[in-house]
Amino acid sequence: MDDFNPSVQSDMKGVLGPYMGMYFTHPLEWDGAHFLAFAVLMIVLSEIVARSIPTLFSAADRIPLNPKLHYDRLDLRDVLFIFFNKVSIVVFFYHFVYTLSTTPSVLWKPGEATITNTLLVLIPFYIVYDFFYVLWHKLLHHRSVYGYIHKHHHRQISPTRGHYDALNVHPVEFVVGEWIHLLVPWLIPCHIFGAAIFLVAGTVLATLNHTRLAVAIPGLYDVKNHAVHHRLPDTNMGQYTMFWDKVFGWFQTYDETLAKKA
């Protein structure tokens, strides 16, 4: 933690005040109240983002749903997995702050934020993330491990619950997938604002992937691509983009014939 720049704390106290400015000191120096407030804030923010998505994207068309393929009732294992993964989100965010506070290539001063290191950097962020994610995801589909970990998530063939269907995965799968996010800003120089946007936008996109909302960013992202994956599990391994699926030959386009089956 000696690499943390103390001038950042001074700058952020001027912007956020002494209490919030504490979060820009060494994470190991936080007191109990800061840890508790941080945990509550992370849980509340994730719930707000998750619950607001159906409203924010209510104007979007709906992907057809085959009710015969919908996993209607969550069992105890589903509830426990979702609970564990929610808790792990808090741990991840703390580790995120802890690690990036000592990463020289991550800028923290507000005045150092630019379009390049906060917004344009998101493009390589998601491409690099999905490179590692598709390899992990493909491994989980290997017959030797599929039944132990990833099969749980694929009990839901037609996701509708958004955030909760996204969280309803085996903890091993979730923790690895979550911590890959930390690898990205550690590898790619950026501003902490860009890293934060990366995580928030990732939460939104992963949630949308598990709804029937036909949201798309032309050429970059499409909910329908993940809907195809849940119907045809050996295709469309990417979380956010289909770049690597097209490179590796795993990409399958969405069509109305498939919609009637999914």
Which residues have a Cβ under 8 Å from the Cβ of 259 and sit 6 or more positions away? 63, 64
Cα gap 97→99, rounded to integer Å: 6
Cα gap 200→196, rounded to integer Å: 6
DSSP string, 177-190: HHHHHHHHHHHS-E
Q: Does 6 reside within a domain?
A: no
Radius of gyration of the chain (CA): 19
Q: Does 127 reside within a domain?
A: yes
Q: Does 3 reside within a domain?
A: no
Amino acid at the residue 174: F
**What SS3 state is found at 239?**
coil
**Model pLDDT, residue 6:** 46
**Model pLDDT, residue 49:** 78
**Residue 128 phi, psi dihedral angles, 5° rounding:** -65, -45
Q: Token pair of 104, please?
A: 């020289």
Amino acid at the residue 156: Q
**Model pLDDT, residue 46:** 80
**Model pLDDT, residue 2:** 45
Q: Does 16 reside within a domain?
A: no
Residue 229's Cβ-count burial label (10 Å; 0-12, 13-18, 19+) is buried
Q: Does 14 reside within a domain?
A: no
Q: Does 193 reside within a domain?
A: yes
Total of domains in the chain: 1
Which residues have a Cβ under 8 Å from the Cβ of 251 and sit 6 or more positions away? 225, 235, 236, 242, 245
Q: Does 12 reside within a domain?
A: no
Q: How many angstroms separate the first and last alpha carbons of the chain?
A: 50
**Model pLDDT, residue 23:** 53
Q: Does 108 reside within a domain?
A: yes
**Which of 197, 21, 223, 231 has the alpha carbon at shortest distance from 113?**
197
Cα gap 207→165, rounded to integer Å: 8
**Hey, how many other C-beta atoms are within 10 angstroms of the C-beta on 113?**
17
Which domain, by its residues, includes 184?
31-261
**Residues 109/193, Cβ–Cβ less than 8 Å:** no
Residue spans of the chain under pLDDT 70? 1-29, 69, 71, 256-262
